[in-house]
Structure 1
């Protein structure tokens, strides 16, 4: 087995979920990631914790092929909360979820209506998983390499270069951005003549993603005040959702809500996201990518949202840890990240001060006022 897989498992167990003896941990990985599952079970055994395995994701409906078969046959009106799966996560102390694929397009013929109904039915399951010590991670499966247009070996190197880092060093570097954003009141994102959006982050909490909930990590993120978002955004990187590629997604916000939208490709998928529930028309996250070992777009949001020189905004659910006391939380069933390239003709402004220009932060060499 590749030594990097063992190192990956060690980081998950020791740092990301800080697993302790006798704790209950759910491991959710498909068969293509069996090597990572084996390495994780070794590390869990060393700790003396109690693992249980799901085949894929945190929604308990098996492999991609099994999930497709179910979702193509089920009536969306029959989808209800799965109490047995909810109970599993309610009794778990930690959860590790990986989403590599054997076929990245397996669910491309599942309707957006069913996908949205499924997300709504499993909302409490997601909430229960997020109440644990959780880690979302990846394994370099050949299908994901193919989607990224890379050889399997090159993709493995890319994945592990992004994940097997000195996360203490990353934490210290990113903390400089946390110190700027956490006490702030307003953020403005400008990119060319297609994106100019402002939002309040007053009383919200900024988190330093440095090898805990996500592997790879490498972002600083918070939640906007739900009704504060104003302006227009062109997401110039594709959105890969439910095995479909949305190109050129454009959103217009007024009083925090999407009031107009379009896309160059698969606009109906974007519409399906927005129609999931009221919260899906509002932002739940503003994230700033800072992992420069992620230097190319791979159609995997776990990596793409961390790319240096990008920001991402998520329609839907806000992570509870980013929502300040007394502030409304966006509790949508959806959380869909979308990316803006900030490498050229772009800037981030915090309380009237430009803190990043063309991808370079004010605390880095090469920053231009």
Structure 2
């Protein structure tokens, strides 16, 4: 079953992605547009607009059993050997090198096709995919979510309602977020530490997670990379993360729902973890590599225009009044200013060597709700306790 979205809405959506998120298309651009065939209505409009702008579209249609078009599919994970997985075709790598800009249209026909794969081969595929992921992350990129029945089923929603939520959020001008996020952005820039207080619902005790964000770049997210958007984030000094956190909002990963996550950090490393649902999947994530035992991001959700809290990370992490952390890779832009300069690259390598920044094949966002009823209790930036007003984080006056 495929959803029908009016052409004028698809055009508006595509214009935001091409003209705003990617700053326009020129005749020199090769734009990779990646997604499953079920997302074709939006891919087609994007392809058409790239051509009309004088650029070259590279439409990369993803098999339904391949989660986000990784270097190999779930079929390889189930039946392939480690030796086969390492034989990544050179043309695949060159395809990513050849593009200048990247759009990924998320949306699955049947997420169960790539769920519950063997741990060893799944981990090997993630590791082989990491260099290709890094190629695309070094270029202008944006992700968006197209509504499908497969994802609607994961949310426990009708396709019609799921489509309304996704499309309505994708029609909002992302430039409105800039002013909305400014106060939080400024106080994060001035802060040296972040303290997160949550409550363990079963053990009935408060948990604290602390970390240093001193001298880190703070990033306002206003639709340049995720669409829709709405968060202010940074990557902490990974070595300084200490304590415990409970994460209550469900997230979907490779077609599996993970819910009720508890993490304990010692000297920057996850040393204990549980999940009320999806523990095996959480274990696969954390045990991927050394970096997936560490924290790569902390962020505050700032979008109060999302009508319902969805499990999909692109949406749930943006909801105003939430906080998310990411298991896995840090964001280089939080540590250096000019990623292309040799000096910046050397700086970043030093951060990696010292464990301040974090390398991993994983970067998985998990979200705690600080609105009434959630397990989140308080967030402090230095001594400033943040507040929630109109479903977004605010700095107290």
TM-score surpassing 0.5?
yes
Aligned to 1:232: 244
Q: Please state if 1:110 is matched with 2:117.
A: yes
Distance across 2 between alignment mates of 1:15 and 1:197 = 36
Aligned to 1:74: 80
Aligned residues of 1:58 and 1:97 also touching (Cα < 8 A): no
Backbone CA RMSD of aligned residues: 1.9
- Map 1:184-195 to 2 at 5 A: 184-192=191-199, 193-195=205-207
Distance across 1 between alignment mates of 2:92 and 2:142 = 18
Distance across 2 between alignment mates of 1:113 and 1:243 = 18
Report the TM-score when normalising by structure 1: 0.92
The offset of 1:228, in angstroms, is: 0.8
Classify the secondary structure of the residue corresponding to 1:331: coil
Classify the secondary structure of the residue corresponding to 1:182: helix
Aligned to 2:318: 306
Classify the secondary structure of the residue corresponding to 1:137: strand
Aligned residues of 2:317 and 2:365 also touching (Cα < 8 A): yes
Aligned to 2:11: 6
Classify the secondary structure of the residue corresponding to 2:311: coil
Aligned residues of 1:27 and 1:52 also touching (Cα < 8 A): yes
Aligned to 2:141: 134
Aligned to 1:352: 383
Classify the secondary structure of the residue corresponding to 2:143: strand
Classify the secondary structure of the residue corresponding to 1:21: coil
Which runs of 5 or more residues in structure 2 are unaligned?
1-5, 63-67, 200-204, 337-343
Distance across 1 between alignment mates of 2:281 and 2:139 = 31
Pairing partner for 2:223 from 187, 207, 211: 211
Classify the secondary structure of the residue corresponding to 1:227: helix
Aligned residues of 2:71 and 2:128 also touching (Cα < 8 A): no
Aligned to 1:52: 58
- Map 1:237-256 to 2 at 5 A: 237-256=249-268
The total of aligned residue pairs comes to 360
Report the TM-score when normalising by structure 2: 0.86
Aligned to 2:304: 292
1:242-291 Cα offsets, whole Å, 9 max, x none, are 22222221110011100111122332222221111111000101111111
Aligned to 1:64: none
Q: Please state if 1:339 is matched with 2:367.
A: yes
Distance across 1 between alignment mates of 2:51 and 2:392 = 43
The offset of 1:145, in angstroms, is: 1.8
Which runs of 5 or more residues in structure 1 are unaligned?
62-66
1:160-182 Cα offsets, whole Å, 9 max, x none, are 22222122221111122111112
Classify the secondary structure of the residue corresponding to 2:277: coil
Q: Please state if 1:35 is matched with 2:56.
A: no
The offset of 1:205, in angstroms, is: 1.2
Classify the secondary structure of the residue corresponding to 1:42: helix
Aligned residues of 1:184 and 1:202 also touching (Cα < 8 A): yes
Pairing partner for 1:330 from 355, 358, 365: 358
1:314-350 Cα offsets, whole Å, 9 max, x none, are 0101122222464433110111111111113622110
Residues 266 and 360 of structure 1: CA distance in aligned 2, closer, same or farther (over 3 Å):
closer
Distance across 1 between alignment mates of 2:260 and 2:154 = 19
1:46-66 Cα offsets, whole Å, 9 max, x none, are 2111111111335354xxxxx
The offset of 1:113, in angstroms, is: 2.5
Distance across 1 between alignment mates of 2:30 and 2:71 = 17
Aligned residues of 2:247 and 2:368 also touching (Cα < 8 A): yes
